[in-house]
Chains A and B, each alone.
Chain A
Amino acid sequence: MPLPYYVSPEQMMQDKAEYAKKGIAKGRSIIAMEYEQGVLLVADNPSASLYKISEIYDSIAFSGAGKYSEFENLRKAGIRHADLKGFMYSREDVTARSLANGYSQTLGTIFSQEIKPLEVEILVAQVGEEGRQNEMYRISFDGSIFDERGYAAIGGRSEALQLFLKERYKGEPPALKAALSLCTSALESITNQKLPLEGIEIAVLDRTRPGRKFRRIPASESRQILS
C-alpha cells in the first residue's frame, strides 16, 4: 500500500484559502450600507433575473458574492432555517445573529473538512425596528464572521471598496439618495467605468414598511431617486 503524502495542516489551510480567495476575486462586489430608514444593498450585477441580493425573512436580507451555485444553496438553506424557526416559534424570534452563526458554522466546517472550500463570501443584514440597531454580518469562506457598522462590502474588490467608503461614510446614516449615490460611485471607482443603472441590483430593508421590510428597487425607480 502506498503511503499517503504528508501535507502539513498549515500548508493545507493556506492552499485552501488561496484557492477560495482566487475564486471570490473573480466575482463582482456588493455593498450594504445603513441609511436613514434602514439598510441599502447594492450589487454590481448585469443580470436582471439572477439575483445576488434576496429576502430571507421579515427584516432580514442576504447577499452572496463568488460562485453562484454555492451561495444560492446557502441562500435557500437560510430561508428554510428562518421559515422553520418562524413557524415553530414566532416571527419575531427569527434573528440575523442566529442565521449568521449558522452560516459561519457551515462555512467553517466545509472549509476545514471538505477538499474544496466554498468560494463565497456572504452578508446577512437585519434592519432594526423600534429603536433597535441595524445589524450587518459579513461571513467569509472559512467561516470567520465580522460584525460591521455603517457599511460592509463583499466580493472581488471588497478591500478597495471598504477603503473608499471609509473615507466618505461619516457619522449618521445618510438619506437614501446620498447612500445610493455613494454606493454606485464606490462600485464605479473599483471598476473604473460608468455603470448603467440597469447593471446594478438594488434592494432595501425599509423599516417604515409594514410586515415584510425587503423591497427591490428597479432601475426606473433608482433613476428617479438619484435625479
Chain B
Amino acid sequence: MPSNPDDHGSSFFDYLMQQRPDLAPSGRAWPAASSFPDDSRMAPLQPLPHGTTVLAIKYQGGVLIAGDRRATEGYQIAGRRMDKVFKIDEHSAMAIAGAAGPCIEMAKLFQTELEHYEKLEGVQLSCEGKANKLGQMIKANLPMVFQGLVVLPIYVGYDQKRGEGRIFKYDITGGRYEESDYHAIGSGGKDARNSMREHFRKDLSEADALRIALVALYNAAEEDVGTGGPDLVRGIYPTAKQVSAVGIKDVEEPHIATVYAALIDARKRGN
C-alpha cells in the first residue's frame, strides 16, 4: 500500500526491479543495438525465435505441454538434452522458445514470483492472474528483444474455478492470447500446429492427447532443423507434463519411448 514506504507489494518481480535491478532480467543497462560500431556482430532482430518446437494441447480434464530437447547455435547443435518445459507451480507449467539463458531465467523468476505471492498473501493467484503476470514480465523483457534475446512462452494452467485446462500464448510485447484447443510455437511451431490440426478433436483422452502431441513434435522435427526428434541412439526423447485437477505430473520417459517406438514402427511399415 502506498502509505507504507516499506511495502513492496506482493510481487517478487517488482521487488527485484526496485531493490535489485542488477538481478532483474531487464534491469541491466544494455547498450542499444545501434550503438555498436559493427552492427553485424549483433544477432539480427528475429520476429520469431529460431530453433525449438514447444506445444500445448487440451484433453478432457486437463492440458498437456511438451517440447523437444534440441538447442542450437547457428548451424551447430549446442545441446541435445535441454528441457524446455518447466513446472511453475502445482497447477501450471510453461514451455519456452527463444534465447536459452533468458528463457531459463524467466522460468525461474516466474516460479519464485508465484510462490512469493502465495506466501505473502496466503492464497494462490488465479489462473487468469498468473497468465497476466507472465505477460507483464514478457513486456518488461522488450528491450532485450532488440538485442536479439527473445523469450516467448506458452503457458498452461488448470483453472480450478472453471474446472478446465487453459492455454495462453504471448507476443513479444507481452500481449496475451488464449487458445481454445492447442498451440505450438518455435521454428517448428507451424509444422506442429498443422499436425495437431489434423488429429485434434474436443475432449480427447489423456493417452490420445499425448500421442497427438508426440506425433506433432516428430513431424516438426522432420521439417525443421532447429527441432530435435526422438534420439534413439542416445535414448533422448521429448519431455511432456500433464496439468489437471490433481496437479502437475511428468509423463515418464519410458512411456514416451513406447509411444515413439510404436509410431516409428508404423512409419516403417508405411502407415
The answer for the CA separation of A76 and B117 in the assembled complex, in Å, is 10
**Contact of A79 with B122 in the complex, beta carbons under 8 Å:** no
- Interface residues in B, total, Cβ within 8 A: 17
Is A121's beta carbon under 8 Å from chain B? no
The answer for the CA separation of A49 and B123 in the assembled complex, in Å, is 11
- Encode B1-30 as 1/0 by CB contact (under 8 A) with A: 000001110001001100110010000000
**Contact of B112 with A83 in the complex, beta carbons under 8 Å:** yes
Is B120's beta carbon under 8 Å from chain A? yes
For chain B, residues 89 to 112, give those with C-beta under 8 angstroms from any C-beta of chain A. 108-109, 112
The answer for the CA separation of A86 and B112 in the assembled complex, in Å, is 9
**Contact of A88 with B23 in the complex, beta carbons under 8 Å:** yes
Closest to A82 in B: B119
Closest to A86 in B: B112
**Least Cβ distance of A62 to chain B in Å?**
10
- Encode A79-91 as 1/0 by CB contact (under 8 A) with B: 1100110111000
Is A51's beta carbon under 8 Å from chain B? yes
The answer for the CA separation of A84 and B15 in the assembled complex, in Å, is 9
**Least Cβ distance of B15 to chain A in Å?**
6
Given A83-B12, A84-B20, are A73 and B122 neighbors across the interface (CB < 8 Å)? Answer: no
Most buried by A among B6, B15, B109, B115: B115
**Contact of B120 with A51 in the complex, beta carbons under 8 Å:** no
Closest to A88 in B: B23
Is B133's beta carbon under 8 Å from chain A? no
Closest to B122 in A: A51
Task: Collect the chain B residues with CB atoms within 8 Å of residue A88's CB.
Answer: 23
Is B116's beta carbon under 8 Å from chain A? yes
**Contact of B119 with A55 in the complex, beta carbons under 8 Å:** yes
Task: Collect the chain A residues with CB atoms within 8 Å of residue B120's CB.
Answer: 76, 79
**Contact of A54 with B122 in the complex, beta carbons under 8 Å:** yes
- Interface residues in A, total, Cβ within 8 A: 14
**Contact of B6 with A73 in the complex, beta carbons under 8 Å:** yes
Is A56's beta carbon under 8 Å from chain B? yes
Task: Collect the chain B residues with CB atoms within 8 Å of residue A51's CB.
Answer: 122
- SS of B interface (majority): helix
Task: Collect the chain B residues with CB atoms within 8 Å of residue A79's CB.
Answer: 116, 119-120
**Contact of B15 with A80 in the complex, beta carbons under 8 Å:** yes
Closest to B123 in A: A49
Q: Which one of A54, A73, A84 lies within 8 Å of B119 (CB-CB)?
A: A54
For chain A, residues 42 to 88, give those with C-beta under 8 angstroms from any C-beta of chain B. 49, 51, 54-56, 73, 76, 79-80, 83-84, 86-88
Closest to B9 in A: A76
Task: Collect the chain A residues with CB atoms within 8 Å of residue B122's CB.
Answer: 49, 51, 54
Given A79-B116, A79-B120, are A84 and B16 neighbors across the interface (CB < 8 Å)? Answer: yes
**Least Cβ distance of B157 to chain A in Å?**
18
**Least Cβ distance of A222 to chain B in Å?**
19
Q: Which one of A54, A76, A87 lies within 8 Å of B112 (CB-CB)?
A: A87
Task: Collect the chain B residues with CB atoms within 8 Å of residue A87's CB.
Answer: 12, 16, 23, 108-109, 112
The answer for the CA separation of A138 and B125 in the assembled complex, in Å, is 32
**Least Cβ distance of B125 to chain A in Å?**
15
List 24 contacting pairs A-B, 8 Å CB cutoff, sorted by A: A49-B122, A51-B122, A54-B119, A54-B122, A56-B119, A73-B6, A76-B7, A76-B120, A79-B116, A79-B119, A79-B120, A80-B8, A80-B116, A83-B12, A83-B112, A84-B15, A84-B19, A86-B112, A87-B16, A87-B23, A87-B108, A87-B109, A87-B112, A88-B23
For the complex of A and B, the 9 pairs showing the least CB-CB separation, nearest first, are A83-B116, A79-B119, A87-B112, A55-B119, A83-B112, A83-B12, A79-B120, A76-B120, A80-B15
Write the residues of chain A forming the contact surface with B, with a CB cutoff of 8 angstroms: 49, 51, 54-56, 73, 76, 79-80, 83-84, 86-88
A76-B120, A83-B119, A87-B108 known; 14 new pairs, CB 8 Å cut-off, are: A51-B122, A55-B119, A79-B120, A80-B12, A80-B15, A80-B116, A83-B112, A83-B116, A84-B15, A84-B23, A86-B112, A87-B12, A87-B109, A87-B112
Write the residues of chain B forming the contact surface with A, with a CB cutoff of 8 angstroms: 6-8, 12, 15-16, 19-20, 23, 108-109, 112, 115-116, 119-120, 122
